[in-house]
Chains A and B, each alone.
Chain A
């Protein structure tokens, strides 16, 4: 089989030893790569995940690319990282792009599995077959950007690509992420903290090998066609304004999270819009390797924090902006720079700071709790100070925020849990809870916690296909289909911004076959997606997840939106229950959200059927 390297690295950090594992064809066909490989290996390597402390040596940290990495596949250079999440306590995973995945495959590897814990700070260097754990004491404490430069210098070759944690990961901040090539992150679930807990500072890779594909001529021809489609209207939005274009659209729809999800519109939305950003702040739009779209908008701050450069996308913009009442693109650009260099997820960070601001305004947090920071909505200084302290776990405020919004609200109490906006401990992203209700269902059942990237279920809400202010029993199927398809996308791994250019799942299957030479139909690949989703769910069930965890936070049910355009919007409990039931039914799960034995057996998951599956 082609496309895959056919082998992966196993690194025992405790003993400082490496070995090699093989990828078999059956694994490829059943699980594709990326998310699929991650779900399979995480489930297999942590058979009792409920007992595992995510920040202990017992946790595993697994990196996978997919068959497309390193080939010329359109927007196909991504890698994914997996572990039990220290933020949520369940299936943790994230995906990043850039050049890293391509180099990794070119070096001759499909993935790397880290176990144990290194006694001293190390980084993993992969140079084709030559693999080495190297001393990281001189880079421990450095930002992610400094780390990349220093490693390249130490290795004497700037063609190395580096993925690293910053000081936040080193301190095991639960929101800590992994950064590669400055602007690209494995953002969510605190995987940077897992790296920090293992004293693993970075992975540096250089590949010089040819990446083999089954039908190179056919592949290049198909890619030429796909790349051409990528210059058309289906991707215009990404290429010009980028995802920040969402700010005004969401504002018009009343689904732009503002003031910790208290409102769905922001009175200063124009000032932090994608339109304004392109006009005044975007200095360059760059691309990941192999991508004909190019969506990465890099800002430069103008007046305040002049000269600060960072890559600003919709989520960062919305959650560090309107969600914290911030109306300054300069401040947001600076905020993203702090998060990217010190190493925390901008989504979780913007969410938890917004929560803390609401606490402060309500008197639940006092200046004593915030070490003197006036943590008010709209205060640029407060936002930046809170972020910096969170990344460095500095003082009472820093330590509190570093726990993530669920734990922080449990620590603080006083009713603050009621407006902690998360699901399963993962902070909600910038899609409103009550005015995009199919989206909310998708968020609430997602395998890693509050997340739309596993289902894209907001699509129907914003296309007028359904009443976005209500829920009904048709929504379960929408989320189910979205999840199965997106599981495929996250396993190949290909960028979701190509979604509009593929005509069907058959075309994705065709791409898979051109690369690997393995026969695959659209139906089979979606089946694999369903299988992958169920493995991840079974892992979560073992971690204690049941129906009770598949709900949006109290704010969704209890706080109707005040904005004129969606006045009174709220989730009705009976409607939610009905929609959730319909989802479980589509899934073939029990009313308590546990996969039925017969469903798991149907998908070829006999171990899961025995260990997790329940009778109908």
Chain B
């Protein structure tokens, strides 16, 4: 039941313009500092046109957890990955294993950090602050439905204009 309602942060490449406001906000929301290198969500800019923010996708079968030799990573029922800092020794194997590169080594702690979906704020702050509504906090099913709707609308417009 839990995993069907699992909401994740998705980013629309048509709307994302690489402003990095999500990164500034995330570092503040998660650590109380202003430092984009401490953000858990990361903006990828591939010149000349592509911008996309990526963060933990709450995988059904997380590779990061499988990778950890010390079992320092676990997953909560809501999908959030938890790092046990007592067990993590900063080997970074999970950093290399995550296919999205969103498990990161914390610059000061020398242990890994990953997006925890702003549990202490109750809502992902990056989504709240994105000025272009590029980031959304939705179930994958909702995300897919939006895409279908958009595709159909475009198709209908094209047909009507012929």
Contacts and interface: CB of A to CB of B under 8 A. Distances in A.
B25 A72 contact: yes
Contacts of A159: 37
A207 B33 CA distance: 14
Interface in B8-50: 17-21, 24-25, 27-28, 32-38, 47-49
B24 A290 contact: yes
Given A72-B21, A220-B28, A294-B19, A227 B129 contact: yes
Contacts of B129: 224, 227
Given A224-B129, A284-B48, A289 B34 contact: no
Nearest to B37: A208
Interface of B: 17-21, 24-25, 27-28, 32-38, 47-49, 51, 107, 129, 131-132
A520 B27 CA distance: 27
Contact of A294 (B27, B35, B47, B132): B132
Contacts of A71: 34
A283 interface: yes
A287 interface: yes
Interface stretch (A210-218, A254-262, A355-363, A572-580): A210-218
A70 interface: yes
Contacts of B35: 106, 208-211
A292 B19 contact: yes
Interface residues of A, number: 35
A286 interface: yes
Given A289-B19, A290-B21, 18 more contacts: A71-B34, A72-B21, A72-B24, A72-B34, A102-B36, A182-B48, A207-B37, A208-B37, A210-B34, A211-B33, A216-B28, A283-B48, A284-B48, A284-B49, A284-B51, A287-B17, A292-B21, A309-B49
A445 B113 CA distance: 54
B28 A283 contact: no
Contacts of B28: 72, 216, 220
A410 interface: no
Interface in A228-265: 230-231
User: Which 6 residue pairs of A and B lie closest in terms of their CB atoms, listed nearest first?
Assistant: A292-B131, A287-B19, A210-B33, A284-B49, A72-B24, A287-B17
A291 interface: yes
A505 interface: no
A262 to B, nearest CB: 35
A106 B23 CA distance: 14
Nearest to A298: B48
A207 B28 CA distance: 17
Nearest to A224: B129
B20 A290 contact: yes
Contacts of B32: 216
A208 B36 CA distance: 8
A290 B28 CA distance: 13
Contacts of A213: 34
Contacts of B131: 227, 230-231, 292-294
A288 interface: yes
A78 to B, nearest CB: 14
Contacts of B33: 210-211, 216
B51 A286 contact: yes
19 contacts: A70-B34, A71-B34, A182-B47, A210-B38, A213-B34, A216-B28, A216-B32, A216-B34, A227-B21, A227-B129, A227-B131, A231-B131, A283-B49, A284-B17, A287-B17, A290-B20, A292-B132, A294-B132, A309-B49
Contacts of B27: 210
Contacts of B25: 72, 220
A588 to B, nearest CB: 40
A328 B78 CA distance: 55
Contacts of B47: 182
A311 B41 CA distance: 27
Contacts of B38: 210
> Interface centre among B20, B25, B34, B49, by most A CB within 10 Å?
B34
A283 B49 CA distance: 7
A187 B35 CA distance: 28
Nearest to B23: A289
Nearest to B130: A292
Interface string A264-287: 000000000000000000011111
A71 B32 CA distance: 12
A99 interface: yes
